[in-house]
Amino acid sequence: MTEMTNPLLSTATLPDFAAIQPEHVQPAITELLAAAQAALDEAVKPETPADYDALSRILDSASERLGTAWGAVGHLNAVADTPALREAYNAILPVVTEFYTAMGANEALFAKYKAVVAAQGERLSAPRRQVLKHAIRNFVLSGAELQGQARERYAAIQE
């Protein structure tokens, strides 16, 4: 699907809520999840430098597009609930949850962010340091430091 045929793939600043239909949800979110996963895979490669700009360049666009589309779907599910939309939302929800849970607990990405702080922390602007501080906090809150059964239990709770 393209941006022209699926409003959830649009790069417009605001979602076109009136144009979003239940049949748009699964293909758009699946496509955006694949792009976000590819960006995550690229970010955690050993050859990807532990550099704020490099990680931002790789991750920001894909994760923002997914977040915007999924946010629009979630909003519509809450305020314009129909059986078809509820079905579309509930069908893709486990996949989205699994992706965000795995990303939040991704040890390699967590290590990459900690390496950015170690290498560049004091040289970065205050807003960028704050972004890193919040990202690391979010990794901890998402179970990135958990091991073994504790990690498995956390993932099961998130489902």
Binning pLDDT at 50, 70 and 90, where does residue 3 land? low
- In the prediction, which pLDDT does 150 show? 86
For the residues 66-72, what does the mean pLDDT come to? 97
Given a contact cutoff of 8 angstroms between Cβ atoms, the answer to whether 158 and 146 are in contact is no
* pTM of the model as a whole: 0.88
Please provide the average confidence, as pLDDT, over all residues in the chain: 93
Alpha helices, H only, the chain: 22-43, 52-79, 83-104, 107-120, 126-141, 148-158
pLDDT value of position 157:
83
Query: Domain 19-158: which topology?
Result: Glutathione S-transferase Yfyf (Class Pi); Chain A, domain 2 (1.20.1050)
pLDDT of 143 higher than 60: yes
Confidence of residue 96 (pLDDT cuts 50, 70, 90): very high
pLDDT at residue 58 above 80?
yes
Among 11-25, 26-40, 51-65, 138-152, which stretch is predicted with the lowest mean pLDDT? 138-152
Residue 106 has pLDDT above 80, yes or no: yes
Output the CA angle 147-150-152, nearest 5 degrees: 90
Return the domain boundaries, the chain.
19-158
User: What is the band of 97 on the pLDDT scale with cuts at 50, 70, 90?
Assistant: very high
